[in-house]
Amino acid sequence: MPDAEDARRIALSLPDTTEKIAWSMPTFRVAGKMFATLPEDETSIAVRCPKEERDELVLAEPEKFWIADHEAQFAWVRARLDALEDEGELRDILADSWRQAAPTRLLEAHPRLGLVAGE
């Protein structure tokens, strides 16, 4: 079961990623644009997720994903770290969020970053 240190290590392994404290919590940014946070007590992560996909995730796996009230109007979803299957699932979630925030130059330089096998 992954934890906050795994999330931090994986996020920082993604190209051009930095960690910055904002709103009293660690945030992770690619080229200055936020793609993940470790909110509250660092038992979950918040990541970018298109609203349509986010709603489907929450309905399909409510024990794993949820939407924080203050993030409902934004394209973000929360994932409980202790509900994730393994580091591979955490890596996929973080890489997907990274791709949504990364500039074109990084996407072009790392076209297969974080893609699930077969994509």
- Spatial distance between the Cα atoms of 116 and 38, rounded to a whole number of angstroms: 23
Residue 113 dihedral angles phi and psi, to the nearest 5°: -55, 120
Above pLDDT 70, what percent of the chain? Answer: 95
Q: Does residue 80 have a pLDDT over 60?
A: yes
Q: Does residue 118 have a pLDDT over 80?
A: no
- Predicted pLDDT at 12: 97
- Predicted pLDDT at 67: 96
- Predicted pLDDT at 116: 47
Domain boundaries, the chain: 4-110
Token reading at 82 = 């202790």
Residue range 9-18, pLDDT digits in tens: 999 999 999 9
pLDDT band at 27 (very low <50, low <70, confident <90, very high): very high
Q: How many CA atoms lie within 13 A of 75 on its CB side?
A: 12
Stated pTM of the model: 0.92
* Mean pLDDT across 33-56: 95
* Mean pLDDT across 94-100: 96
User: To 10 degrees, what angle do helices 87-101 and 4-13 make?
Assistant: 50
* Mean pLDDT across 53-64: 96
pLDDT band at 114 (very low <50, low <70, confident <90, very high): low
CATH of domain 4-110: 3.90.1150.30
